[in-house]
């Protein structure tokens, strides 16, 4: 009986001490990890969209609440004033969610460009959405509109051959981003004043 | 015949070097040694876990009841592995991306549990730390050398801190087989053979 109690006590104490320690470390490193992820995973997509911006869009960011989740909005400065934003949305791809960074020019209401951040699409097929810029470059300069569709669905985007599902995912993620932008436009504009 | 502290440390470097002599911990050895940098990074992470786990297991060896010792060891090891994972994400993110799933898999690396069970639970703290450090450094060197051979022949370069150094002449055609999974087995086999040859003399 004594041995039983000792076993339980030792396991409980060990478990809770290590759990507490890890929770503390996680709290301490959370901000740093978020910065690193932004820099290495989202950074390249943001940099390609905001090419020529005079600031660092990764550090100049704020959060907006969409539904019940928080989204980071990255601010780009062109010609000395903050007039471009980028935000990340997700579309349902062939191998799971496709993360997409969507850049919007606030002055002209046009897409600055889109870039894939995370995905698990088939290499050589859907994965081209990230590695081959010719597909995503179709979005550059398009006006902000209600929906973006591939040609097969009656839209203006040429789907990548052999990767219609991935192409649709990119389109629907862009549609979502534009929808958020339209809904939250006044809030975004107000928050962007801080970056002047 | 008790070994001295120095002997406990040194045995991990040659006599009992895990992947080559004990043929333990082969999963990370084969999977992450595509480049020297990956191999060394994996080795350092494993060494940290080994030393910390050995130390804690040895400190608690009189408290841990025999019947649940394996469960206790795994809790300790898993805690340190998660700690390493968080720290790597915070400070060396590119390396973390490359090693990926193999960092959490250190938990099931039989070297770590093996040293806790076979050594740390029977010896005092200082000897356990020396043992962990020796085995860990041996493991790191083994992974580093395997990574070096595979990278030099497979890509013609040696990479440190993200900067590749070209070792082979420009006309060298990379022997891509070496950086693929079968190349890892062949390479490991050849290194085992060389070590046995040296050891048998």
| pLDDT tens, position by position, A138-192 | 888 888 887 888 888 887 888 887 788 888 888 889 988 888 888 888 888 888 7
**Structure token pair of residue A18:** 């290590």
Which helix (H) or strand (E) covers residue A90, if one does? Answer: strand A81-92
In chain A, the number of structural domains is 1
Ranges of chain B whose pLDDT falls below 70: 1-2, 162
Tell if the CB–CB gap between B64 and A29 is shorter than 8 Å: no
Residue A190: the pLDDT is: 80
Average pLDDT of the segment spanning A100-123: 84
Residue A75: the pLDDT is: 84
Residue A25: the pLDDT is: 92
- Substitution target in A22, A40, A118 with the highest count of B β-carbons within 10 Å is A22
Tell if the CB–CB gap between A29 and B86 is shorter than 8 Å: yes
Facing A36 at nearest CB: one of B64, B72, B90? B90
| Residue closest to B112 by CA, chosen among B31, B25, B193, B200 | B25
A17-20 contacts at long range (C-beta below 8 A, 24 or more positions apart): A18/B75, A18/B76, A18/B78, A18/B79
Residue A85: the pLDDT is: 86
Q: Which residues contact B55 (CB under 8 A, 6 or more apart)?
A: B120, B125, B128, B129, B132
Residue A55: the pLDDT is: 80
Closest-CA residue of A relative to B73 is A14
Please give the interface size between A and B, counted as residue pairs whose CB atoms are below 8 Å apart.
Answer: 53
Give me the sheet containing A97-105, strands edge to edge: A61-66, A69-78, A81-92, A97-105, A110-116
Tell if the CB–CB gap between B65 and A32 is shorter than 8 Å: no
- A3 has a chain B CB within 8 A of its CB: yes
Q: Which residues of A touch B91 (CB under 8 A)?
A: 32
ipTM of the complex: 0.71
Domain ranges of chain B: 5-200
Residue B78: the pLDDT is: 92
Asked if residue A119 is part of any domain, the answer here is: yes
- B91 has a chain A CB within 8 A of its CB: yes
Tell if the CB–CB gap between B78 and A18 is shorter than 8 Å: yes
Residue B1: the pLDDT is: 45
Strand residues in A18-80 grouped as ranges (E): 61-66, 69-78
- B184 has a chain A CB within 8 A of its CB: no
Helix (H, G, I), strand (E, B) or coil at B185: helix
Q: Which residues of A touch B60 (CB under 8 A)?
A: 14
Q: Could you give the CA distance from residue A134 to residue A182 in angstroms, rounded to a whole number? A: 27
Q: Which residues of B touch A44 (CB under 8 A)?
A: none
Asked if residue A9 is part of any domain, the answer here is: no
Residue B82: the pLDDT is: 92
Q: Could you give the CA distance from residue B121 to residue A95 in angstroms, rounded to a whole number? A: 45
Confidence class for position A41, pLDDT limits 50, 70, 90: confident
- A18 has a chain B CB within 8 A of its CB: yes
Chain position carrying tokens 């349902």: A92
Tell if the CB–CB gap between A40 and B94 is shorter than 8 Å: yes
Confidence class for position A24, pLDDT limits 50, 70, 90: very high
With 0.90 as the threshold, say if the pTM is over it.
Answer: no
Asked if residue A17 is part of any domain, the answer here is: no
Asked if residue A20 is part of any domain, the answer here is: no
Given a cut of 90, is residue A19 above it in pLDDT? yes
**Residue B127 or residue A66, greater confidence:** B127
- A130 lies in which domain range? 46-195
Alpha carbon of A18: minimum distance to chain B alpha carbons (Å): 6
Asked if residue A25 is part of any domain, the answer here is: no
pLDDT in tens, A74-106: 888 887 778 888 888 888 888 888 888 888 888
**Structure token pair of residue A182:** 């339209």
Residue B13: the pLDDT is: 77
């Amino acid at each position: 009986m004594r041995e039983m109690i000792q076993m339980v006590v030792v396991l409980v104490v060990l478990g809770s001490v290590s759990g507490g320690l890890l929770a503390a470390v996680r709290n301490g490193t959370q901000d740093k990890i978020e910065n690193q992820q932004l820099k290495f995973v989202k950074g390249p997509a943001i940099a390609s969209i905001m090419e020529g911006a005079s600031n660092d869009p990764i550090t100049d960011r704020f959060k907006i609440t969409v539904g019940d989740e928080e989204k980071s909005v990255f601010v780009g400065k062109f010609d000395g004033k903050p007039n471009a934003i980028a935000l990340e949305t997700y579309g349902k791809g062939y191998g799971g969610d496709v993360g997409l960074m969507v850049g919007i020019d606030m002055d002209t209401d046009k897409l600055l460009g889109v870039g894939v951040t995370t995905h698990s699409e088939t290499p050589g097929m859907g994965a081209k959405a990230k590695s081959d810029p010719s597909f995503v470059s179709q979005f550059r300069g398009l006006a902000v509109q209600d929906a973006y569709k591939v040609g097969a669905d009656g839209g203006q985007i040429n789907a990548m051959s052999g990767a219609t599902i991935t192409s649709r995912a990119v389109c629907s993620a862009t549609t979502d981003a534009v929808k958020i932008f339209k809904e939250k436009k006044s809030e975004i504009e107000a928050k962007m004043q801080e970056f002047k | 015949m008790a070994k001295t502290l120095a002997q406990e440390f040194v045995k991990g470097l040659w006599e009992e070097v895990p992947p080559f002599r004990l043929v333990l911990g082969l999963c990370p050895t084969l999977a992450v040694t595509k480049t020297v940098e990956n191999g060394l990074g994996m080795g350092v992470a494993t060494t940290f876990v080994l030393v910390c786990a050995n130390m804690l297991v040895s400190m608690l060896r009189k408290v841990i009841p025999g019947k649940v010792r394996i469960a206790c060891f795994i809790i300790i090891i898993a805690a340190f592995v998660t700690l390493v994972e968080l720290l790597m994400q915070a400070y060396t993110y590119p390396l973390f991306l490359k090693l990926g799933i193999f960092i959490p898999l250190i938990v099931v690396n039989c070297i770590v549990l093996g040293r806790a069970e076979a050594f740390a639970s029977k010896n005092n703290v200082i000897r356990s730390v020396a043992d962990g450090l020796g085995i860990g450094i041996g493991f790191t060197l083994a992974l580093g050398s395997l990574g070096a051979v595979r990278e030099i022949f497979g890509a013609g370069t040696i990479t440190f801190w993200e900067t590749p150094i070209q070792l082979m002449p420009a006309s060298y055609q990379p022997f891509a087989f070496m950086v693929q999974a079968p190349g890892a087995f062949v390479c490991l086999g050849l290194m085992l053979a060389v070590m046995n040859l040296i050891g048998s003399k």
